[in-house]
Amino acid sequence: MEKAIRRYWPIFVLPTLAAFCIGFIYPFVQGLYLSFCKFTTIKKATFNGIDNYAYAIQDSGFWHSFWFTALFTVVSTVLINVIAFAIALALTSKIKGSNVFRTVFFMPNLIGGIVLGYIWQILLNCALSLLQKPLLALNATYGFIGLIILMCWQQIGYMMIIYIAGLQSIPDDYIEAAKIDGATNRQVLFRIKIPNVMPSITICTFLTITNGFKLFDQNLALTGGEPAHASEMLALDIYNTFYSRTGPQWKGYGQAKAVIFCIMVIIISMIQLKFTKSREVQQ
Partner 1 sequence: MKIKNVLALGLVATMAVAAFVGCGDKGKDSAGADGKGKVYYLNFKPEADEAWQEIAKQYTDETGVEVSVITAASGKYEETLASEITKDEAPTLFQVNGPVGLANWKDYCYDLKDSSLYKELTSDSFALYDDDAVAGIAYVIESYGIIVNTELLDKAGYKLEDIASFDDLKKVAEDITARKDELGFAAFTSAGMDGSSDWRFKTHLANLPIYFEYQDKKIDSTDAIEGKYLDNYKNIWDLYINNATCKPADLAGKTGDDAENEFASGEAVFYQNGSWEYKNLTDKGMKDDQLAMIPIYIGAGDEANQGLCTGTENYWCVNAEASEEDIQATIDFLTWMVTSDAGTKMLADNIGVIPFKKAADTTNLFVLNDRKYTEDGKTPVSWNFTTMPSEEWKNGVGSALTAYAAGTGKWDDVVKAFVDGWASEYKAANN
Q: What residue ranges bind partner 1 (CB under 8 A)?
A: 4, 8, 11-12, 14-15, 18-19, 40-44, 121-122, 125, 129, 132, 134-139, 224, 226-228, 243-249
Least Cα distance to 62 among 197, 232, 264 occurs for 232
Smallest separation (angstroms) from partner 1 to the CB of 225? 9
Report helix, strand or coil for 45: strand
Measured from the CB atom, is 40 or 283 closer to partner 1?
40
Instruction: Please report which helix (H) or strand (E) contains residue 37, including its range.
Output: strand 37-39
Cα distance between residue 194 and residue 185, in whole Å: 12
Smallest separation (angstroms) from partner 1 to the CB of 48? 12
Smallest separation (angstroms) from partner 1 to the CB of 241? 10
Measured from the CB atom, is 22 or 189 closer to partner 1?
22
Measured from the CB atom, is 126 or 270 closer to partner 1?
126
Measured from the CB atom, is 143 or 212 closer to partner 1?
143
Cα distance between residue 136 and residue 20, in whole Å: 40
Smallest separation (angstroms) from partner 1 to the CB of 132? 8
Q: Which amino acid is at 88?
A: A
CB 26 within 8 A of CB 17: no
Smallest separation (angstroms) from partner 1 to the CB of 73? 25
3-state helix, strand, coil in the chain (%, to 5): 80, 0, 20
CB 93 within 8 A of CB 101: no
Measured from the CB atom, is 182 or 247 closer to partner 1?
247
- The CA-to-CA distance between both ends of the chain, in Å, stands at 33
Smallest separation (angstroms) from partner 1 to the CB of 263? 25
Measured from the CB atom, is 38 or 193 closer to partner 1?
38
